[in-house]
A = this chain, B = another copy of it.
Amino acid sequence: MIKVGIIGGTGYTGVELLRLLVGHPQTKLSVITSRGEAGRKVADLFPNLRGHVDLVFSEPDTKTLAACDVVFSATPNGVAMTQARELVAAGTRLIDLAADFRLRDPAVWEKWYGMPHACPELLAEAVYGLPEVNRDKIRKARIVANPGCYPTAVQLGFLPLLEQGLVDAAHLIADAKSGVSGAGRKAEVHTLFAEASDNFKAYAVAGHRHWPEIKQGLETATGKPVGLTFVPHLTPMIRGIHATLYARLAKTDMDLQALYEKRYANESFVDVLPAGSHPDTRSVRASNVCRIAVHRPQGGDTVVVLSVIDNLVKGAAGQAVQNMNIMFGLDERTGLAAPPVLP
């Protein structure tokens, strides 16, 4: 049994991680910390876990955490990097669900997250945890940077095109729509039900922290600079991301459907839909699957890719569990096999 610790875990990513670990046959949840909720029963905060999780939130304590085989950090950005050295030194492997280890260049991290990086040397060895790209590196990684939700949906949608150099990489467009849980379990006015319900809006058009992360991933895939216009939107649903991706094809005689099917043929969690399909976000609700459809409207030179995930699962906690499975040599699907919940 893998001994698991969780840092943070009072947000939506945390409760989802707990839900998935409850059903995971090879893990034992050993400790969960929270400065704000220390002493409170986990199941009091998250009533869905009554009868499933008996743990009490405890004060953060690196020694206890370092006794675990793996620690998931589900805290706000900037926390995991202050604890990483100690954990790694103790032989504990770290999966960070925040952004601390996602951007390879510490200067870029500092620019977008507004603080210097606390352990650049670990940043250098951290592995970006997108299994469909880095599976082999993840296996041996001491630190895995779990990808952001938008970056997961957008990269999985664009990768086959960019890896083959089939599109004008200088002018990619990602129009992405997220459910409101993506904003986290924070008391804020703009995500109140009475504000966000029966409403739709774009935000952060001038610049979103997931932009450099996506750009980095796409540039790695294609091997040259990428120009990306990324527009995130808030849509009145709890879970789900729908990325609608646009690119100009260098040539139009490719069988794009075959390209996508081949690229993801051996991936358990990427489902390429039949030609002509339109994936629903609900078709992946509460599951670790990414469903993709590829279109070339009116036979023109613009390719349209539709990519959907559950932002809390493949976009966060599920992908983290998938990474853990890889790191510990388990079948990648362990604990992640339940079908999506629909309706």
Q: Which residues of A contact B (CB under 8 A)?
A: 12, 15, 19, 22-23, 46-52, 171, 173, 175, 177, 179-181, 183, 185-189, 191-203, 205-207, 227, 229-231, 233, 235-240, 242, 244, 246, 248, 271, 276, 278-287, 289, 291, 295, 297-298, 300, 302, 304, 306, 308, 312, 337-343
A184 and chain B: residue at smallest CB distance = B194
Q: Which single residue of chain B is at the shortest CB-CB distance from A15?
A: B342
**Which chain B positions have C-beta within 8 A of A236?**
193, 197, 235-237
User: Could you say which residues of chain B place their CB within 8 Å of the CB of A285?
Assistant: 48, 198, 341
Q: How far is the CB of A189 from chain B (nearest CB, A)?
A: 5
Whether A22 lies near B341 (C-beta < 8 A) is no
Interface-centre pick from A49, A203, A242, A342 (highest chain B CB count, 10 A): A342
Count copies of this chain in the complex: 4
Smallest beta-carbon distance A125→chain B, Å: 30
Closest 7 CB pairs of A and B: A48-B340, A47-B283, A48-B342, A180-B193, A199-B282, A193-B196, A181-B194
B238 touches A295 (CB 8 A): no
Interchain residue pairs with CB less than 8 A apart (19): A22-B338, A47-B280, A173-B302, A177-B200, A185-B194, A193-B193, A193-B238, A198-B237, A200-B280, A201-B278, A202-B278, A206-B295, A207-B297, A227-B302, A229-B297, A229-B304, A235-B235, A238-B343, A341-B341
In chain B, what residue has the closest Cβ to A271?
B50
Whether the Cβ atoms of B229 and A302 lie closer than 8 Å is yes
Interface centre among A200, A246, A312, A337 (most CB of B within 10 A): A200
Closest Cβ of chain B: how far from A111's Cβ, in Å? 13
Instruction: State the CA gap A279–B188 with chains docked (Å).
Output: 19
Q: Other than A205-B306, A230-B297, give 15 A-B pairs with Cβ distance below 8 A.
A: A12-B194, A12-B343, A19-B341, A23-B337, A47-B279, A175-B246, A187-B188, A191-B193, A194-B343, A198-B239, A201-B281, A202-B278, A205-B304, A227-B300, A229-B304
Q: A173-B246, A201-B281, A281-B200 are in contact. Are A51 and B194 (CB under 8 A)?
A: no
Which chain B positions have C-beta within 8 A of A233? 177, 242, 244
Chain B residues contacting A207 (CB-CB under 8 Å) are 297-298
Q: Is the CB of B198 within 8 A of A287?
A: no
* Alpha-carbon distance A244/B234, docked complex (angstroms): 13
> How far is the CB of A322 from the nearest CB of chain B, in Å?
15
Report A250 CB to chain B, min CB distance, Å: 14
B189 A189 Cβ-Cβ under 8 A: no
| Contact residues in B for A289 (Cβ distance below 8 Å) | 51
Q: Are A192 and B191 in contact (CB under 8 A)?
A: yes
Task: Say whether A282 contacts B198, CB under 8 Å.
Answer: yes
State how many angstroms separate the Cβ of A315 from the closest Cβ of chain B: 14
